[in-house]
Every structure is written in C-alpha cells, then in structure tokens.
Amino acid sequence: MNSAQYKKELLDKLYKPYKSCNGCHFNMPPATQVVMGEGNPNAAVLFIGEAPGRDEDLQGRPFVGRSGKLLDKVIQIAGNNRMDVYITNVVKIRPPNNRKPLPQEIAIGKPLLLKQIKIIRPRVICTLGSSALEGLLGEPVKMTLMRGKVITWNGISLIPTYHPAYILRNPKELSAFVDDISEAFRLSA
C-alpha cells in the first residue's frame, strides 16, 4: 500500500463517525451534512477555509460554489489542479445563515482539523481568510497585516491569504491572492 492509500484509509476512518451526523458532534444547528474535506491525502499543500457555505452543505464538498470556482482557477493559474491539493475547513458544519463561525464552533472543530493535518502532513498550509488563520493559531489576527507572510507553524510553512469570497467582493486584491497561492506551491516543491 502506498502513502496516499494509507493516508486515505486513515482519513476515511477519522471521518466515519461523522458520516451520518448533521451537526450533532459539533453542537451546531442541523445542517444537511458534515463537510470534511477532499483532495489528495498525500498533498504537499493543504488549503483551510472557515466553514462550509450553502453549496458546500448541499454537496458535501468544500469550496464548490463561486468561491470554490475562483480557488480552482487560481490553483490552475499556479500550475496545479484541485486534485493535487487537499481542501478542508476549520468548522465542518455550515453556520446558520452563512455567518462567520463563532469561537466555540472553531474550538469544537479544531481537534478534527489537527488530526487531518497530522494525517496529511502537508509541507505548506494556506489559510483562506482570517477565521481559518485564527482557528489554526488560536488568537485574533488582522489579515491585512498577516496576508502573504510565511509563518512557521508546528514545523509547517503557513501562508495566510484572503478568502476567495473576499476576492469576489474586492477584485483589486486578485493579484495578491494569486501571488500568495503561487508562493504556497513554490514553497511546497
């Protein structure tokens, strides 16, 4: 069995208790389903967002709406494709009305995220938005000060960048977003 198959088995085993959950394990209001993550379990780059949105909740996959299409496009601009990376969120259940995850929701989801990171063992983590970065670091951050700076977190290079939804609302930041994701792939090589 190769490394990717082994890691996939470990992730499947980790996710199994949550397959029939719609929020019960996370003390959150019911959602359609838990959105764990997807991609290459042997990925060198791991993308972490904040929480599933409406489309993600319906499909059970991370980043599949408008934000996901933009992320896919930028990953391709950087010379890769979605199946080369692993994509997940700090919070695995859609918050009501697509609101920003609450600190207690992030705290509930973080142990599962840390287990995902331990299994995947990426060389680079790219956090998408301040909630994802705050969830990982466990402290408030200002994205304007952190964006694009390489941080070492638990021996892994961490690159914070904007959430794709922010880029959709602020297209003038697209080049910075592309630069950050390109840097994540450059560092992972």
| Percent of the chain scoring above 90 in pLDDT | 75
Predicted local confidence at residue 24, as pLDDT: 60
Beta strand 124-128 pairing with 156-161: parallel
Instruction: Summarize the confidence of residues 152-161 as an average pLDDT.
Output: 97
Check if the beta carbon of residue 156 is closer than 8 Å to that of residue 127.
Answer: no
Query: Which DSSP letter does residue 155 get?
Result: T
pLDDT at residue number 154? 95
pLDDT at 67 over 80: yes
pLDDT (tens digit per residue) in 5-34: 999 999 999 999 887 766 665 556 667 788
Q: How far from 39 is each of 77, 90, 98, 102, CA to CA, in Å?
A: 18, 16, 24, 26
- Minimum mean pLDDT among 50-54, 95-99, 181-185: which range? 95-99
Tell me if the domain spanning 3-188 has CATH number 3.20.20.70: no
For residue 29, what pLDDT is reported? 63
Domain spans of the chain? 3-188
Give per-residue pLDDT as tens, 108-138.
889 999 999 999 999 999 999 999 999 999 9
